[in-house]
């Protein structure tokens, strides 16, 4: 859409944040704690971002950060703390003691939409500004020292301009921020996987105390949890399949087949109240900065959910960015801002590698040869029989150090 040449209302802030997902909300909290003004613009309503159900696994350092910021009370009451995971293949189960291998670190299963609810409530209570339901968002002047964000508060409202020193594009893969970087300077790397996940939420008690990742000849399966009453499970499927082809009976049949083991473990069924199919990709955009615009979270990178890295990478991005902005406003230093992309990408590519590794090792790719499938099984066998390999997996899973 062409940009308007005039606006009816003019606003000013230090950092304009596009997107109220995990990246944008965490950044707003971090900046406000440093005394930096910011405004968050979000195209969806508050109800939409809070009620869109998405799973979430938080690395140890993210849990620690939320607690340090005073945002973790409900997470500590309602989250599920896992000290390990189970890898299941060839009908056998193998426990990976992540806490024992990493000096006590663990992960917390706490859904992303619950994190968003906590961050939104705390930000608004603290006097922060989130503009929900905005439209026609356009970024201007990102290569100048006076960038701005044009938007409408309602579809029929006047076009306004939010003038700022810096813009943080936290608006996801389909948002306008990445598109504001000229194609000539944007390098995009992508892998689209030939499989997807069919995910369900079911009313049932936990079938297992921790996550189970299963490699089966019929395809991958994952058992997770949401609460003592609600469980989340996934099975590998064709990403182009129609969810209407999957009856509840068919889903349960596949889950039983793929998650079974030789020790007689059984899966507890319940009423399925949500189901859907998601495609999977790996994606990275370089650089993550152009002029006064910084990309963070899904606007800059996507990982398949197998490695449980998406939300954690978003928080890592904005933690780096908030520190760089703090140094700029306190002492005029720009080295952190100039290094932002390189610093973030070093961590991102490690997470991309781990997510790709977990995904290819655990799934059955229909295009693979029997040789390649046997290599993946050998990889799993090596992981569960080598302490060094188990440690490497555990270190990546619970989260690499931020510094």
User: Phi then psi for 270, rounded to 5 degrees?
Assistant: -160, -175
- The answer to whether residue 65 is domain-embedded is no
149, 164 contact by CB (below 8 A): yes
Question: pLDDT tens string for the chain (403 positions)?
Answer: 333 334 445 599 999 999 999 999 999 999 999 999 999 999 999 999 998 878 789 999 999 999 999 999 999 999 999 999 999 999 999 999 999 999 999 999 998 999 999 999 999 999 999 999 999 999 999 999 999 999 999 989 999 999 999 999 999 999 999 999 999 999 999 999 999 999 999 999 999 999 999 999 999 999 998 788 889 999 999 999 999 999 999 999 999 999 999 888 999 999 999 999 999 999 999 999 999 999 999 999 999 999 999 999 999 999 999 999 999 999 999 999 999 999 999 999 999 999 999 999 999 998 999 999 999 999 999 999 999 999 999 999 999 988 7
Rounded to two decimals, the pTM is 0.93
Name the percent of the chain in helix, strand, coil, to the closest 5.
Answer: 40, 25, 35
Angle among Cα 274, 276, 277 to the nearest 5 degrees reads 160
For 268-289, letters b (16+ CB in 10 Å) and e give ebbebeeeebeebebbbbbbbb
28, 126 contact by CB (below 8 A): no
- The answer to whether residue 70 is domain-embedded is no
> Whole-angstrom Cα distance, residue 85 to residue 97?
7
Q: Does 265 lie in the same domain as 377?
A: yes
Looking at the chain, the number of H-run helices and the number of E-run strands are 12, 23
For 244-256, letters b (16+ CB in 10 Å) and e give eebeeeebbebbe
The CATH number of residue 310's host domain is 3.50.50.60
Q: Does 297 lie in the same domain as 262?
A: no
Domain count, the chain: 2
C-alpha dihedral sign at 118, 121, 127, 129: positive
> Whole-angstrom Cα distance, residue 281 to residue 164?
33
Domain around 378: 83-107+193-280+365-398
The CATH number of residue 250's host domain is 3.30.9.10
DSSP 8-state code for residue 244: G
Q: Does 212 lie in the same domain as 344?
A: no
- The answer to whether residue 75 is domain-embedded is no
- The answer to whether residue 77 is domain-embedded is no
Q: Tokens 């996507």: give the residue.
A: 302
> Whole-angstrom Cα distance, residue 113 to residue 110?
9
Q: Does 138 lie in the same domain as 52?
A: yes
Q: Does 243 lie in the same domain as 120?
A: no
Q: Does 155 lie in the same domain as 50?
A: yes
- The answer to whether residue 62 is domain-embedded is no
Catalytic positions, please?
82, 213, 305, 309, 397
- The answer to whether residue 64 is domain-embedded is no
Q: Does 93 lie in the same domain as 197?
A: yes
Q: Which of 376, 314, 401, 397 is nearest to 98 (CA)?
A: 397
Question: What are the CA-CA distances from residue 250 to residues 235, 254, 272, 346 (Å)?
Answer: 11, 6, 12, 42
> Whole-angstrom Cα distance, residue 177 to residue 19?
10
Angle between helices 310-331 and 22-33 (to 10 degrees): 30
Residues 6+ apart with CB under 8 A from 376: 215, 360, 361, 362
């Amino acid at each position: 859409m062409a940009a308007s040449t005039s606006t009816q209302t003019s606003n000013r802030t230090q950092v304009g944040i596009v997107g109220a997902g995990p990246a944008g909300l965490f950044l707003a909290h971090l900046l406000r704690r440093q005394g930096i003004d910011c405004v968050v613009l979000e195209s969806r309503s508050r109800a939409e971002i809070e009620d869109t159900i998405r799973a979430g696994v938080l690395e140890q350092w993210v849990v620690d950060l939320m607690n340090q910021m005073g945002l973790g009370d409900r997470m500590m009451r309602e989250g599920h703390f896992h000290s390990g995971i189970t890898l299941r293949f060839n009908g056998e189960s193998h426990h990976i003691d992540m806490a024992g291998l990493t000096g006590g670190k663990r992960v917390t299963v706490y859904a992303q939409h619950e994190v968003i609810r906590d961050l939104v409530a705390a930000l608004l209570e603290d006097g922060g500004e989130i503009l929900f339901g905005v439209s026609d968002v356009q970024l201007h002047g990102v290569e100048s020292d006076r960038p701005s964000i044009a938007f409408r508060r309602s579809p029929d409202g006047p076009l306004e301009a939010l003038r700022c020193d810096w813009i943080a594009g936290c608006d996801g893969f389909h948002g306008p921020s990445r598109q504001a970087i000229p194609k000539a300077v944007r390098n995009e790397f992508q892998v689209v996987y030939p499989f997807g996940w069919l995910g369900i939420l079911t009313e049932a008690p936990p079938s297992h105390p921790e996550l189970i990742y299963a490699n089966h000849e019929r395809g991958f399966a994952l058992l997770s949890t949401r609460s003592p009453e609600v469980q989340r499970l996934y099975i590998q499927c064709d990403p182009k399949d129609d969810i209407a082809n999957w009856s509840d009976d068919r889903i349960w049949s596949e889950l039983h087949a793929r998650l079974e083991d030789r020790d007689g473990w059984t899966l507890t069924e319940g009423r399925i109240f949500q189901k859907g199919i998601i495609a999977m990709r790996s994606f990275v955009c370089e650089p993550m900065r152009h002029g006064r615009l910084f990309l963070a979270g899904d606007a800059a990178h996507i990982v398949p959910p197998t490695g449980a890295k998406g939300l954690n990478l978003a928080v890592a991005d904005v933690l780096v960015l908030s520190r760089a902005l703090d140094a700029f406003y306190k002492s005029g230093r720009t080295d952190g801002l100039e290094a932002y992309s390189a610093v973030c990408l070093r961590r991102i590519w490690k997470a991309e590698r781990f997510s790709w590794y977990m995904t290819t090792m655990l799934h059955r790719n229909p295009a693979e040869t029997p040789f390649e499938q046997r290599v993946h099984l050998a990889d799993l066998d090596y992981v569960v029989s080598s302490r060094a390999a188990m440690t490497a997996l555990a270190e990546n899973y619970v989260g690499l150090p931020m510094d």
